[in-house]
Amino acid sequence: MTNQYHIPVLPDESIAGLNIHPGADVVDATFGGGGHSRLILRQLGNGRLFAFDQDEDAAGNTLQDNRLFFIRHNFRYLKNFLWYYGVKHVDAVFADLGVSSHDFDVPGRGFSFRYEGELDMRMNQNAQTDAAQIVNQYSEAQLVNVFRLYGEIRNAGRLVAEIIKERNQKPVKTTTQLKEIAAKCAPRAIENKYLAQVFQALRIEVNDEMEALRDFLQSSFDVLKPGGRLVVITYHSLEDRLCKNFMRTGNFEGKIDKDFYGNLNSPFKIITRKIITPGIEELERNTRARSAKLRIAEKI
């Protein structure tokens, strides 16, 4: 059986979008299993690849290549660590924002409702707060906000009421406990989708994903050379909206600024007027690519 940790999503489209030339400096902000990094290295010639990943498991996938600099930190600190290496500008930045299949398939990480495991969900195992602490210690209002904002769950109030009812009897510490609670609130016919939204919301909160993404996008703009490419693969509407707005307008709210002649003022030229999604053949090889959306922008 193929190890899906190493299957890169939209590989050809991503590499083409980066527009790499030999000798370029490139960032892979989400190293994971190293799939995209391997493809980037093939195009680099004597260039350099700076790969980021805060996950300890990802560090075990580093490649023996003196052009690769692996940085085990959150990609939100991209600019800081590049400067540490004496790099102020790069030619391309890539990020695949999906949680790796490996992490979903390790029960002990607690990312998936399909397995019994501790409610953890930390990308960085050294982080202080895990999902169990959030579920058991957040106030009712805080939990409602998390599930409504990050899971887009309409009946968040009812879900939180069930969680509080359960945690008042005993702590909610496992994925199975949370799954059983959430299943009581899940609309018929979309139970799995609902459970995925519940787990997604907690994962985003645990890892501060949306703020980290904002920091990453702004840092990417700061370090890209004029003509440099920003290539991002998203998997859910919240992160996709942020990327779309930032690439289109240079801000996260999507506020349009026009010049005197009515032309859009933007720091980027959009390369993908229509988002790129996986084709049938790729989905047959890798079903977890089904919600992927690829966006490409070029710094002006």
Positions of CATH 3.40.50.150 in the chain = 4-101+209-299
Q: Which of 10, 12, 4 shows the shortest CA–CA distance to 32?
A: 4
Please give the model's pTM, rounded to 2 decimal places: 0.93
Q: Which of 97, 91, 96, 88 shows the shortest CA–CA distance to 18?
A: 91
pLDDT tens by residue, 190-208: 999 999 999 999 999 999 9
What's the CATH fold of domain 4-101+209-299?
A: Rossmann fold (3.40.50)
What's the CATH fold of domain 106-207?
A: DNA polymerase; domain 1 (1.10.150)
Positions of CATH 1.10.150.170 in the chain = 106-207
- Res. 231: pLDDT tops 70: yes
pLDDT in the model for residue 3: 45
Instruction: Give the full edge-to-edge strand order of the sheet including 224-234.
Output: 68-71, 48-52, 25-28, 90-96, 224-234, 293-299, 268-270
- Between CA 34 and CA 101 the distance in angstroms is 13
pLDDT tens by residue, 34-91: 999 999 999 999 999 999 999 878 788 888 999 999 999 999 999 999 999 999 999 9
